[in-house]
Chain A
Amino acid sequence: DVKVTQSSRYLVKRTGEKVFLECVQDMDHENMFWYRQDPGLGLRLIYFSYDVKMKEKGDIPEGYSVSREKKERFSLILESASTNQTSMYLCASRWGFGTGELFFGEGSRLTVL
């Protein structure tokens, strides 16, 4: 079975702190994604990566950056956390370009105080 593992299920951080959210997949997928999910807003794409060291902005990249140094690992970075970044963050991966099932991690619920 494909497994997408997010390092932290729950985090509580203070405004201004730097936050790292880690995601690892074990199926050699080329494509990895970070979404945030908020009530009534669905899933919104923050960043995605289609290869090592390659990244593309999604719909809401402001306040975030990403890193993909190894194929299996895709990190989301909040350089200076703010309260409006309190959310559920979902990592996902898939093999195909423009097609194919997305496999999601369990999610990381971040609270910024």
Chain B
Amino acid sequence: GQQVMQIPQYQHVQEGEDFTTYCNSSTTLSNIQWYKQRPGGHPVFLIQLVKSGEVKKQKRLTFQFGEAKKNSSLHITATQTTDVGTYFCAGNSGYALNFGKGTSLLVTP
């Protein structure tokens, strides 16, 4: 079945530094989604990417979908303490979403 791999597992940055997490699928995806889970919370939807090569921005967050629709990345510019949490990518395969294991981001002031 489809597997979604995500790296790194953990990232610790100083406030103001940039952060990137990468996601790779074993199969071509129809679309990919990104979620953020704050400590003690539940995953919350950030964005969905559909088109090959698509790039979307949300303030300091930049999301990319690879040309082959098998990989994606999330880049945060100038991290803030409010960015702390775990970021998950999830690939759509038929009815269900397959999640990566997530990247836990810790931001030190």
Contacts and interface: CB of A to CB of B under 8 A. Distances in A.
Contact of A99 (B6, B31, B35): B31
Closest 4 CB pairs of A and B: A42-B101, A101-B45, A43-B99, A104-B42
Interface stretch (B63-71, B73-81, B90-98): B90-98
Contact of B30 (A33, A42, A45, A99): A99
Interface of B: 1, 6, 9, 30-31, 33, 35, 42-45, 48, 50, 88, 90, 92-102
Nearest to A58: B96
B1 A98 contact: no
Interface residues of A, number: 26
A101 B48 contact: yes
B96 A45 contact: yes
Contacts of B101: 40-42
Contact of A97 (B88, B95, B99): B95
